[in-house]
Amino acid sequence: MAGKWLPAAELTGSGRPVLQPSEVECSFLSSVDLNCEDNTNFPLFKSGLLILTTHRLLWLPDTTTAAATNSAAAAAAAIPLAAVTHIFTPKKSIKNMFSSPKVRFQVSVTPEGRVAERGSKSMVITLILRGKSDPDAFLGKFSEAWRGRAWESSGSEASSTSNSRQFGSTDGGSSGGVAVRMPVVGVAGILRKEQEMWESTDKSLQEAFQDLNALMSKAKEMVMLAEKMRLKLLSGSNNQTSATNDEEMGSKEEMQDWLLSVGIASPVTKESAGALYHQQLSRQLADFVKIPLEKAGGMISLVDIYCFFNRARGTELISPDDLLQACSLWEKFDVPVMLRKFDSGVRVIQNKSHSDEEVFARIKSLVLEPEALRTGISASDAAMTLGIAPAMAKEHLLAAESKGLLCRDVSPDGFRFYINLFQEINPDDVYFVKGHGIYAAWVSAASASASR
Amino acid sequence: MRRRPGIGGLQTAAAARDQYRLLGENVAKLRTDLMKEQLVTFRSQLEEFARKHKNDIRKNPAFRSQFHEMCAKVGVDPLASNKGFWAELLGIGDFYYELGVQIVDICLVTRPHNGGLIKLEELCKLLGQRRKSAREAVSEDDCLRAISKLKVLGSGFEVISVGKSKLIRSVPTELNKDHNEILELAQSQGFVTVEEVQRRLSWSSGRATDALEILLDEGLAMIDDGHRDGRRRYWFPCVSSASSYVGADTL
């Protein structure tokens, strides 16, 4: 129903919005109603999470209270900031003091009434902020993001980048400049071009790092320059391996290391998310751990994730306590990962699919082998067959024992585990062996060894 | 260039080609040198900005992501807080958290070589290289303090003492694959010694001792100090079937 009026917003598995390239979240507000008075058919979006990004206003239904995630994902909506034509400044009056603060803005719509960029008609949308939030601060961020017009630069960037790259200079390559320049002819021309290029790079570097504001305005250019340098240096390493000294190798290695750590473009911060910080952090973390978890084989220690996650966040560090809190919130959401604590005090993150049931099934097939029926298995046997550390295997075996799957035998050989036969033995007739089943298999395995 | 006939012509052409090639090489070399120089400037400037304007950068989310991208691309660690008065005194502020992240990072990077066990001195040295821009050196005490902040995340990451030196273990016992290798090694004769593990798997003595001690604690190994050569043997009754080591004992 919402899709008719507002563009839909995509969500990740853990209920976080899927952001566009270079889109960054600026502010989070909880319990926000989204309403439109001009259009009577416009559905009321009631009490949801509002996220302001540099590109869009996202409205997500509140998933913590109730509702299946399927319908929630369908209802998430987005208003591109590009479609916003005017933001009204709220009138201060006594009447407004007693009602929830409202933020009103005008958007352009198509003749059918759908919110879109460059629509011919317009309508007014009202945000009603019911949560405990600062409407003025939000309004400030809203108009800042709107005036920043970040969506424009990311859209047109592709074409301008390719142009300036072809000219090999970072000064934007204005067409007038090329005409005035000396024609590039012969070796001297190439050399001169080369020189000009370096001079311009030097100059732009100097300019960009004068102060923070200069760097901010030149940020895009500098990112491109950094990318160019990285590519050249990395490609250079393949061609001329002989002429590399130690220091150079070091710097290259450093760069390759760092490649791994580019990650979360829009980290959830205390400043942007406010009271929703831990909840949003938890969702972002759930999305993030998928890849490292896969690489580590379904289980990874919490300390490792702490490092990966913070590296991906850049300067927006989170403390170990925040991480722990984010992990413990997973129980409340529908996410495919879980936090697990071992008796030894080690905390790990594991896939839910990597769960105990699956491991028990493998252990069971292991102890049912004829050799194992006779002599049992030890933690190290299980470790080698399951491809996990012995301490882990022991943990699994003990868990399987407590479920009644295994029985232990303590001997000079150490702990050995056997399949639990007691379930199959009839207490009234202990000598009765059924024609099939585990007991029968055990009897035949044991008698085979006795006769040997 | 006009083509001239005869051997003389060929020789001139070859000479000219050589000259071009030489020039080309020079230009290429000059280019990489210049590039390196600019990269050094770029890096040092970024490092300086990361330190000086940390709070301003954090305030602006859009710029922050661009700044991170720059840092990542030219290989600058954006974590460069100074220790500062409050961090030193009360242990608050980002300094020790940053250090913690960098320490875990180093442990992760060196894990393929050392199996997740690193000497405190070595860690400090590597940390110093990472933080070369920061003015103050990082002491071993700072490292220990940063590591203690990670305690909340479970006991997998810890400082252990082997002999006189301190080691940092970053792999929890539950996820340690070293033990599997020792078990495999022990399969042939039922026991191993520290020296044997060191030699056969080319591990450091700390790594071998630590792994064997853990296996002992876990109840998987038994020690035997009574052998003639005076070396402690770690027996693994579980890996070899009973008959094989009874046979070996009677020999």
Cα–Cα distance between A282 and B161 in angstroms, integer? 36
Please, are residues A417 and A378 in contact by the beta-carbon 8 Å criterion?
yes
Instruction: Measure Cα distances from A210 to A227, B48, B61 in Å.
Output: 21, 12, 21
Please, are residues A138 and A103 in contact by the beta-carbon 8 Å criterion?
yes
Per mean pLDDT, which range of A36-45, B105-114, B154-163, B228-237 is the poorest? A36-45
Smallest Cα–Cα separation from A2: which of A125, A119, A86? Answer: A125
All residues of chain B having their beta carbon less than 8 Å from the beta carbon of residue A24 are: 61-62, 64-65
DSSP code for B135: S
Please, are residues B190 and B248 in contact by the beta-carbon 8 Å criterion?
yes
The Cα of B213 is separated from the nearest Cα of chain A by a number of Å equal to 13
Residue A105 belongs to some domain of the structure: yes
Question: In the predicted model, what is the mean pLDDT of chain A?
Answer: 75
The Cα of A156 is separated from the nearest Cα of chain B by a number of Å equal to 17
pLDDT greater at residue A436 or residue A34: A34
Q: What is the pLDDT of residue A172?
A: 40
Q: Looking at the structure, tell me whether residues A229 and A336 fall in a common domain.
A: no
- Above 70 in pLDDT, residue B91? no
Please, are residues A418 and A409 in contact by the beta-carbon 8 Å criterion?
yes
Per mean pLDDT, which range of A69-83, A341-355, A386-400, A433-447 is the poorest? A69-83
Name beta bridge partners: B159: B168
Is A314 an interface residue toward B (CB < 8 Å)? yes
The Cα of A30 is separated from the nearest Cα of chain B by a number of Å equal to 20
Q: Using pLDDT thresholds of 50, 70 and 90, give the confidence band for residue A449.
A: low
Q: How much is the average pLDDT of A210-216?
A: 77
- Above 80 in pLDDT, residue A262? no
- Give the DSSP H or E segment for A129: strand A121-129
Please, are residues B92 and A321 in contact by the beta-carbon 8 Å criterion?
no
- Above 70 in pLDDT, residue B21? yes
Cα–Cα distance between A208 and A216 in angstroms, integer? 8
Q: Using pLDDT thresholds of 50, 70 and 90, give the confidence band for residue A160.
A: very low
- Above 80 in pLDDT, residue A18? yes
Q: Using pLDDT thresholds of 50, 70 and 90, give the confidence band for residue A176.
A: very low
Q: Looking at the structure, tell me whether residues A360 and A240 fall in a common domain.
A: no
- Above 60 in pLDDT, residue A215? yes
Q: Looking at the structure, tell me whether residues A142 and A179 fall in a common domain.
A: no
Residue A113 belongs to some domain of the structure: yes
Q: Looking at the structure, tell me whether residues A235 and A293 fall in a common domain.
A: no
Task: Retrieve residue B123's tokens.
Answer: 């860690």
- Considering only alpha carbons, which residue of chain B is nearest residue A25? B61
Q: Looking at the structure, tell me whether residues A181 and A299 fall in a common domain.
A: no
B61 and A150 within 8 Å at the Cβ level: the answer is no
- Give the DSSP H or E segment for A351: strand A347-351
Q: What is the pLDDT of residue B92?
A: 60
Q: Using pLDDT thresholds of 50, 70 and 90, give the confidence band for residue A362.
A: confident
Residue partners of A386: CB distance under 8 A and separation at least 6? A359, A362, A363, A366, A393, A396
- Give the DSSP H or E segment for A162: helix A150-167
Q: Write out pLDDT tens, residues A379-388.
A: 888 888 887 8
Q: Nearest 5°: phi and psi at B96?
A: -75, -30
Instruction: Measure Cα distances from A434 to A387, A422, B250 in Å.
Output: 35, 13, 42
pLDDT greater at residue B4 or residue B246: B4
Cα–Cα distance between A313 and B158 in angstroms, integer? 24
Contacts with B, A 3-62, CB within 8 Å:
22, 24-26, 54
What CATH number should be reported for the domain holding residue A99?
2.30.29.30
Please, are residues A102 and A142 in contact by the beta-carbon 8 Å criterion?
no
Q: Looking at the structure, tell me whether residues A360 and A425 fall in a common domain.
A: yes
What CATH number should be reported for the domain holding residue A323?
1.10.10.10
- Considering only alpha carbons, which residue of chain B is nearest residue A149? B62
Is B8 an interface residue toward A (CB < 8 Å)? no
Q: Write out pLDDT tens, residues B176-216.
A: 888 888 888 887 888 888 888 888 888 888 888 888 888 88
Q: Using pLDDT thresholds of 50, 70 and 90, give the confidence band for residue B2.
A: low
Smallest Cα–Cα separation from B134: which of B76, B51, B58, B55? Answer: B51
Q: What is the pLDDT of residue B85?
A: 62
- Considering only alpha carbons, which residue of chain B is nearest residue A220? B66
Residue partners of B57: CB distance under 8 A and separation at least 6? A212, A315, B49, B50, B63, B64, B67
Please, are residues A30 and A303 in contact by the beta-carbon 8 Å criterion?
no
Is B185 an interface residue toward A (CB < 8 Å)? no
B49 and A212 within 8 Å at the Cβ level: the answer is yes
Smallest Cα–Cα separation from B51: which of B135, B137, B127? Answer: B135
Q: How much is the average pLDDT of B151-176?
A: 82
- Give the DSSP H or E segment for A273: helix A270-273
Residue partners of B12: CB distance under 8 A and separation at least 6? B4
Q: Using pLDDT thresholds of 50, 70 and 90, give the confidence band for residue A312.
A: confident
Kindly state the percentage of chain A with pLDDT values over 90. Answer: 1
Q: How much is the average pLDDT of A109-117?
A: 77
- Considering only alpha carbons, which residue of chain B is nearest residue A145? B62
Cα–Cα distance between A96 and A135 in angstroms, integer? 12
Cα–Cα distance between A106 and A126 in angstroms, integer? 9
Q: Looking at the structure, tell me whether residues A335 and A389 fall in a common domain.
A: no
Q: Write out pLDDT tens, residues B115-160.
A: 888 888 888 888 887 776 555 677 888 888 888 888 888 887 888 8
Closest CB from A191, A258, A395 relative to B75:
A258
- Above 80 in pLDDT, residue B246? no
Q: What is the pLDDT of residue A165?
A: 39
A384 and B180 within 8 Å at the Cβ level: the answer is yes
Q: Using pLDDT thresholds of 50, 70 and 90, give the confidence band for residue A174.
A: very low
SS3 state of residue A80: strand
Q: How much is the average pLDDT of A408-420?
A: 81
Q: What is the pLDDT of residue A214?
A: 78
Please, are residues A397 and A406 in contact by the beta-carbon 8 Å criterion?
yes
Q: Using pLDDT thresholds of 50, 70 and 90, give the confidence band for residue A175.
A: very low
Residue A130 belongs to some domain of the structure: yes
Interface test with A, best of B1, B21, B51, B73 (most A CBs within 10 A): B73
Instruction: Measure Cα distances from A153 to A149, A157, A158, B121 in Å.
Output: 7, 6, 9, 48
Q: What is the pLDDT of residue B110?
A: 85
B174 and A413 within 8 Å at the Cβ level: the answer is no
Question: Residue ranges of the alpha helices (H) in B53-155?
Answer: 54-59, 61-74, 84-90, 95-114, 120-130, 140-149
Is A232 an interface residue toward B (CB < 8 Å)? yes
Q: Looking at the structure, tell me whether residues A366 and A345 fall in a common domain.
A: no
How many domains does chain A contain in total? 4
Q: Looking at the structure, tell me whether residues A130 and A36 fall in a common domain.
A: yes
Residue B245 has, within 13 A of its CA and on its CB side, a CA count of 18
Task: Retrieve residue B10's tokens.
Answer: 């060929």
Q: Looking at the structure, tell me whether residues A144 and A10 fall in a common domain.
A: yes
Q: What is the pLDDT of residue A248?
A: 47
Kindly state the percentage of chain B with pLDDT values over 90. Answer: 0
Q: Write out pLDDT tens, residues B35-50.
A: 778 878 887 887 777 7
Please, are residues A5 and A326 in contact by the beta-carbon 8 Å criterion?
no
Q: What is the pLDDT of residue A428?
A: 76
Q: Please, is A54 exposed, middle or buried when counting C-beta atoms within 10 Å of its C-beta (0-12, 13-18, 19+)?
A: buried
- Above 60 in pLDDT, residue A181? no
Residue A435 belongs to some domain of the structure: yes
Q: Looking at the structure, tell me whether residues A16 and A103 fall in a common domain.
A: yes
Q: Which of A203, A232, A259 is the last residue of a domain?
A: A259
- Give the DSSP H or E segment for A150: helix A150-167
- Domain encompassing residue A429: 356-451
Q: What is the pLDDT of residue B241?
A: 52
Q: Looking at the structure, tell me whether residues A144 and A186 fall in a common domain.
A: no
Please measure the distance between the N-terminal and C-terminal CA atoms of chain A and give it in whole angstroms. Answer: 76
A348 and B174 within 8 Å at the Cβ level: the answer is yes
Cα–Cα distance between A404 and A384 in angstroms, integer? 23
